[in-house]
Amino acid sequence: MSADSQAADLLALATEIAADAAAVVAKYAAERTYVVETKSTPTDLVTEADRETEALIVRRILGARPGDGLLGEEGANRDSASGIRWVIDPIDGTTNFVYGIPAYSVSIGVEREGRVIAGVVHDVALGQAYTAALGGGAHVNGRAIQTSGKTDLSTALMGIGFAYDPARRDAQAHFYDRVMIDIRDVRRMGSAALDLCRVACGQLDGYFEFQLNPWDIAAGGLIVREAGGLTTGFHGHTFEEGYVLAATAALAAPLQAVLDRNPVP
């Protein structure tokens, strides 16, 4: 496949910025001297590392492309004058980061006129950069990746996630409980961006969660699609609205049917 030339250029910049951002996160992880605070709920953590990393990413983007727009988890929000918008999660998996669990990433997606055309998810602890540009396939550290090709839903391994809000978490727990009978098993690893990358490289056969944010899924969703998988929504909502279903091409439709017949409380 041949990538869209603008997408390839934007991916190169995003990959370079993500690597520098990952170095900042890794430094904080090694020193463990940061202040931990909370945001929307007592379980929704944020650290100095999140904020410093987002600030670095924003400076680098605007230094190279001053007309571009921004949407970041930690508050970056800027209209685009160029048709390009960067969707940023400086640390996806902050709770894992705080607890020293090696499953957190820097995620940067790039949209053109609302469509994601480039994305990088940099797994900080493992030093793996998952990348994709529209039409150029998906890679990890330059090596091409693809989804598992699983076709049987009953033997599929799925990723799931939970919200920080207690009421939403309770709804998710009941929903997942009803879906479990139709699949092999689930894994909950605490980083939506990395879970999407695990679908892309075949470590998971699919992933589903609802009420996620754009910065959780922008880069990872493109990486799944460029690895041969499908992303879609469920219960009348789209993937982009945060009702996230990502899976091998053969599993997307049957998984969507299972999710749609089990109502979200």
Reduce the secondary structure of 198-211 to three states and give it as a string: HHHCCCCCEEEEEC
Q: How confident is the model at residue 78 (pLDDT cuts 50, 70, 90)?
A: very high
Q: pLDDT tens across 140-161, in order? A: 999 999 999 999 999 999 999 9
Establish whether 89 is a catalytic residue: yes
Sign of CA dihedral 63, 66, 68, 69: positive
- Is residue 265's pLDDT more than 70? no
pLDDT, tens digit, for every residue of 20-43?
999 999 999 999 878 888 888 887
For residue 56, give every residue at least 6 positions away whose Cβ sits within 8 Å of its Cβ, in sequence order, or none: 17, 20, 21, 24
Catalytic status, residue 73 = yes
- Provide the whole-model pTM: 0.95
Q: Give Cα 49 distance to the centre of its chain.
A: 18
Give residue-wise pLDDT tens across range 212-226: 999 999 999 999 999
Output the pLDDT for position 179.
Answer: 93
| Token representation of residue 217 | 């899924």
What is the reported pLDDT for 33? Answer: 79
Please give the Cα distance from 255 to 240 (Å, whole number).
Answer: 18
What are the structural domains of the chain?
5-145 (3.30.540.10), 153-261 (3.40.190.80)
Catalytic residue among 50, 54, 68, 92: 92
* 92 belongs to the catalytic site: yes
Catalytic-labelled residue, pool 15, 53, 94, 248: 94
Q: pLDDT, tens digit, for every residue of 97-108?
A: 999 999 999 999
Q: Which residue is associated with the tokens 């880069």?
A: 219
Q: Is 20 a residue of the active site?
A: no
Does 1 score more than 70 pLDDT? no
d(CA 235, CA 243): 8
Q: What does the block give as tokens for 116? A: 């994601």
Q: Which residues contact 110 (CB under 8 A, 6 or more apart)?
A: 7, 10, 11, 14, 84, 85, 86, 87, 116, 117, 118, 119
